[in-house]
Structure 1
């Protein structure tokens, strides 16, 4: 066995509180996250490392919980601020209310927080539908075959979570004058 092969075959270092903290900080440096999402990320990291070491991952659940709690205590994890920022980003892109709720729930934001953040959302659903139509070049933003593709464009917006009324209005409307 060569030296390179021996290094690759070497078992990883043990799972420690310090390693988990560093792994979580590295993840949070790169991505905004919720408590539930960070917990899932750390569980996957622990599972991979424990498997590579031939250990069980279950004994490290308490360490994961402590690490997540530490980041909440340090105010580096806040589900409410994550939800507000993510919702603003999604709505600017033209995401419907339904799809926004689903995406926040997918990231582990609880229902009460989602409801509170949605109550503060000032984006009009019709405006979001127009933004999505523009981004995907549907309806008035289509260069050709607009009439022939109308039903498909409306269906695309409905699949994105908009009601028929909002989808049809966005597709049948005129393109913005700034184009």
Structure 2
């Protein structure tokens, strides 16, 4: 009986990296399609959408076979972003409002909300409007309302175990401080006698 010989193992047979698949050719159409695909999933500011498209162009340019004209790509990106704004798919104020509401519901401090909106590319006036709208819903004390929400989520102060409150006071104050709340707001929340007292104020 004759047995077929097993192939001799060579590291090159299994360890060799496959050749990089060339990226899709960058064009005005491909960038517009990329923008539409992104906006189907996320709300975006104009600045953030521009950054997304710029990253796509940079990734394409790293391929050895790519032929990307940076100046032409920049013009295409500007045109695509302008078109998305014109069609109403991109609205800085709407995005700032939606993002601010989402962060506020999670107990994010107003100062941190403003910082997150800036990172998202929201203009200062759009952030101002979003925070003002939130303040109206919180009867003006936006910081306290957000701190109460976070304390409830993290079981800080009166939302935690009564027998551990004194032991955990400093830790709870520090947690609110790290989250961006000022000392007076943190102290007011942590030292409240009952959750009901805070919820009535917030």
TM-score band by shorter chain is 0.7 to 0.9
Higher gyration radius (CA)? 2
**What is the RMSD computed on CA atoms of the aligned residues?**
2.5
Aligned residues: 176
Retained in 2: the 8 A contact 1:51–1:57? no
Gaps of 5+ in 1: none
Gaps of 5+ in 2: 1-12
Please give the TM-score of this superposition, normalised by the length of structure 2: 0.78
- Alignment partner, residue 46 of structure 1: 57
Q: How many angstroms does 1:135 deviate by?
A: 1.0
1:94 to 98, 104, 107: 107
* Structure 1 moving runs of 4+ over 6 Å: none
Matches within 5 A, 1:1-179: 9-52=20-63, 53-56=65-68, 58-59=70-71, 60-121=73-134, 122=136, 123=138, 124=141, 125-143=143-161, 145-173=164-192, 174-176=194-196
Change (3 A) 1:151 1:35: same
Q: How many angstroms does 1:176 deviate by?
A: 4.4
Deviations along 1:14-45, whole A, 9 cap, x unmatched? 10111111111111111111111111111111
Please give the TM-score of this superposition, normalised by the length of structure 1: 0.87
Q: How many angstroms apart in 1 are the aligned matches of 2:62 and 2:46? A: 24
Q: How many angstroms apart in 2 are the aligned matches of 1:55 and 1:95? A: 44
